[in-house]
Structure 1
Amino acid sequence: MVRISTTLLVVTAALLLPDSVVAHGVHPVHARTPDRLEQRRLFMAEGKRSLKDCANSEASRRLQERTVARRAAKADSLRAERRQRRRLDVDTVVATSHKSNLTGLTIDTDASELFGGDVKCILEPEVTQGPYYVNGELVRSDIREEEEGVDLYAEIQIIDVNTCEPVEGLYLDFWHCNATGVYSGIVASGNGDSSDTTNIDKTFLRGLTPTDEDGVASYTSIFPGHYTSRATHIHIIGTYNGTLLENNTYSGGYASHVGQLFFDQDLISEVELTAPYSTNTQEVTTNANDKILSEEAAEDFDPFFEYVLLGDSVSDGVLAWISVGVDMTRAQTITAAGTLTSDGGVMAESTSTMGGGGGMGPGS
């Protein structure tokens, strides 16, 4: 069903792996120490207090009004585009099943119910960024390239928990695996065919884009697939004070806002029935059995996209969105498994890093 926010839910999309777990066999992750657990508890508690103050502020009200109008307009535009495609290819549409497992969606559903809502997540600065992060990716919003799958239109809104204002100019890295569970830009055991060395130079389903005046970064992608031991998810990293290069890549800066975002299991299951997802032979891990997600859910955190279908079935595309709170005074060093250079991809020989240090970011 459609997930509609009715109360202020403050959650974290910064997910740590439990002790002895290795993400994709690349980055080992260590258990949280008592000091780190206490620091994390204090960080999240302060974030909750800040967001409660934001909820009734004038800035929050104005931002929500703009958010409702923008997302409603985007949904209308995407649906109109879909209708035009149907008119151009009637035979294909007639032969396609539009049955949806979701309930409660009608053409009269109020846009404010679908798109109104509060900040849903707090991104923590000191976390594991997940497998296969590649530094220096292309600045772009459409990251599909030639990958097949269910179209996904994702919007991530970034709010500063200290000011209640949207964060403008934060470059948000956004990446995930393809429909059969393979990440581009990395050659490694467990990531598709490890003998295919050409994957190091591929860039599909990776990109970053700056947030606009409303703190929103928008992406056109495909719905992510799955791989063994992990539920379906998307990785994000926010960076600032870096350099936009002439080849339209982004380099350097501080990387301080890290997270993994998830989808409802009903939606995942429906997508997995379609091709090419249905050809993926890797073992499926549900949200309920994902160790990273379950660790955070135990603390009443809920890093899930809200969404609507753009037609009668997932084949017509998915519009998904989430609002995320960040503390722009915090920063950390991020490790990368590889780097995209002007000569192609390069795997890290040991551990490469980007960012570091502190200071205020954009929008402060």
Structure 2
Amino acid sequence: MVQLASFVAVGLAGLASIVSAHPGHDVKAEAAERAAFLKTVPVQSRSLAGCASKLKARGLENRNVARRQHAVKNLRASRGLSQTPHYLKARSLNSTLSTSHHSSLTGVDASTDPSVLFASESTCILGPDVTQGPYYVTGELVRENIAEDQEGVPLFMDIQLINTNTCEPIPEIYTDLWHCNSTGVYSGIVASGNGDSSDELNINSTFLRGIQESDSNGVVHFQTTFPGHYTSRATHIHVLTHPSNETEVLANGTISGLYTSSSSYVGQIFFDQDLITAVEKVSPYATNTQELTTNAEDSILSEEADTIDPFMEYVYLGDDVSDGIFAWISLGIDPTQDSSVTPAAYYTEQGGVENENSGGMGGGGGGMGGGAPPS
């Protein structure tokens, strides 16, 4: 019998390896800052466990289940895939790293309650970090589909934002998302440690970056490709939210604050190692020559895994992982927080512009250095 977890948030996402993932980026310092958050943040801001009964009473969880079930059904139909659930197994292991987030159950059929598959078992708290990690670019486009021409396993994400102070979903808040491609390269950046550093045209690229506004249920959807890996970091996706009262959509399809970007919260989300292993066998992931770091080897993530679960729940859309993945997670944030962030680059009307004061983008930075924006 499946042990259905309650709607519980279990800590801060975005923990990094002790080893520097990109030259010039102090991952050890970032990990220390994020670990400190867990010890100092108020109890109600560490978990959404106290919100479970309120969210259920208000019908939010039922709407989550129905929305995710409907999305998977439509995606399977649009891609010509069978509606029969595949790779069905129970979620029964205890620790975060060994727990399977492949949300399914043996014996699932058309009569099975959808909540067995699509309940909000995986949630995490985004923290008020003083660094957003390397390769953050402001000026990205407001759009749901960020895949562009990148090859890889299709990934469809359902991300819900919950106010840790009120247990209410947060509408009209902008979520900024970015990650590397199948071979470990970020768009919008020219730097050693990020693919071919001689490819100066990459400064103008925008693949696998985008921004979405949350709906009345606090939900944003993104269509992308599953992220690849790069040396010394486990596979992950960066997430950053912008304060709703300071954000405006401009006529060119971006949001305000190109040179004065601020954030409510920032963090990273992760995936099961079994899922990563399956994806890594698919081309072009299999051509990636960088060393793969597993979740267990991402030392800070592994150390905090007993209390943190920043992993997305997911289902396969077809018989094979290459057919695509539907994944979901709830993110708890305190929207009253407001911190300035310093990007590695700006995407402007003239194209990408390096922020020379970001902490050394030319060396793979993207830290929290100061300095004025480009003229």
TM-score (norm 1): 0.84
- Name the residue aligned to 1:47: 45
- Name the residue aligned to 2:101: none
Superposed displacement of residue 149, structure 1:
0.6
Assess if the C-alpha contact under 8 Å between 2:122 and 2:310 holds in 1: no
Partner of 1:293: helix, strand, or coil? helix
CA distance in 1, matches of 2:342, 2:26: 12
CA distance in 1, matches of 2:49, 2:156: 29
- Name the residue aligned to 1:301: 308
Superposed displacement of residue 113, structure 1:
1.0
Superposed displacement of residue 254, structure 1:
3.0
Write the letter of the residue equivalent to 1:143: I
CA distance in 1, matches of 2:30, 2:209: 29
Assess if the C-alpha contact under 8 Å between 2:247 and 2:256 holds in 1: yes
Write the letter of the residue equivalent to 2:325: V
Assess if the C-alpha contact under 8 Å between 1:143 and 1:221 holds in 2: yes
CA distance in 1, matches of 2:350, 2:39: 44
- Are residues 58 and 334 of structure 1, via their aligned partners in 2, closer, same or farther at CA, if it must alter by over 3 Å? closer
Partner of 1:158: helix, strand, or coil? strand
- Name the residue aligned to 1:321: 328
CA distance in 1, matches of 2:33, 2:273: 34
Given the alignment of the two structures, is residue 349 of structure 1 paired with residue 349 of structure 2, yes or no? no
Determine which of 167, 170, 184 is the counterpart of 1:167.
Answer: 170
- Name the residue aligned to 2:344: 337
Q: How does 1:1-364 map to 2 (within 5 A)?
A: 5-17=4-16, 21-29=19-27, 31=29, 40-43=38-41, 45-48=43-46, 51-57=48-54, 61-83=58-80, 103=89, 104=105, 106-108=108-110, 109-117=112-120, 120-240=123-243, 241-252=246-257, 254-298=262-306, 300-351=307-358
Superposed displacement of residue 61, structure 1:
3.9
CA-based RMSD: 2.8
Assess if the C-alpha contact under 8 Å between 1:4 and 1:113 holds in 2: no
Could you report, residue by residue, the CA deviation over 1:283-342 in whole angstroms, capped at 9, with x for unpaired residues? 1111110134224315x1010000000011111100000011111121212121011000
Superposed displacement of residue 41, structure 1:
1.5
Superposed displacement of residue 270, structure 1:
0.5
Partner of 1:319: helix, strand, or coil? strand
Q: Which runs of 5+ in 1 are unaligned?
A: 87-99, 356-364
- Are residues 34 and 134 of structure 1, via their aligned partners in 2, closer, same or farther at CA, if it must alter by over 3 Å? closer
Superposed displacement of residue 242, structure 1:
1.9
Assess if the C-alpha contact under 8 Å between 2:182 and 2:288 holds in 1: yes
- Are residues 31 and 183 of structure 1, via their aligned partners in 2, closer, same or farther at CA, if it must alter by over 3 Å? closer
Write the letter of the residue equivalent to 1:306: E
**Percent of pairs with identical residues:** 51
- Name the residue aligned to 2:96: none
Write the letter of the residue equivalent to 2:52: A
Superposed displacement of residue 349, structure 1:
0.9
Q: Which runs of 5+ in 2 are unaligned?
A: 90-104, 360-365, 369-375
- Are residues 217 and 26 of structure 1, via their aligned partners in 2, closer, same or farther at CA, if it must alter by over 3 Å? farther
Assess if the C-alpha contact under 8 Å between 1:160 and 1:166 holds in 2: yes
| Aligned residue pairs, count | 336
Write the letter of the residue equivalent to 2:357: S
CA distance in 2, matches of 1:32, 1:230: 13
Write the letter of the residue equivalent to 2:64: T
Write the letter of the residue equivalent to 1:260: Q
Write the letter of the residue equivalent to 1:282: Q
Superposed displacement of residue 69, structure 1:
0.9
- Are residues 155 and 4 of structure 1, via their aligned partners in 2, closer, same or farther at CA, if it must alter by over 3 Å? farther
- Are residues 64 and 101 of structure 1, via their aligned partners in 2, closer, same or farther at CA, if it must alter by over 3 Å? closer
Could you report, residue by residue, the CA deviation over 1:191-246 in whole angstroms, capped at 9, with x for unpaired residues? 00000000000000000101111111100000111111111110000002222121
Partner of 2:194: helix, strand, or coil? coil
Assess if the C-alpha contact under 8 Å between 2:21 and 2:230 holds in 1: no
* Higher percent of residues as strand: 1
CA distance in 2, matches of 1:190, 1:319: 30
Superposed displacement of residue 131, structure 1:
1.6
CA distance in 2, matches of 1:279, 1:33: 29
- Name the residue aligned to 2:97: none
TM-score (norm 2): 0.82
Assess if the C-alpha contact under 8 Å between 1:255 and 1:354 holds in 2: no
CA distance in 1, matches of 2:367, 2:53: 37
CA distance in 2, matches of 1:33, 1:245: 34
CA distance in 2, matches of 1:4, 1:60: 21
Assess if the C-alpha contact under 8 Å between 1:168 and 1:211 holds in 2: yes
Partner of 1:288: helix, strand, or coil? coil
Superposed displacement of residue 43, structure 1:
0.9
Partner of 1:251: helix, strand, or coil? coil
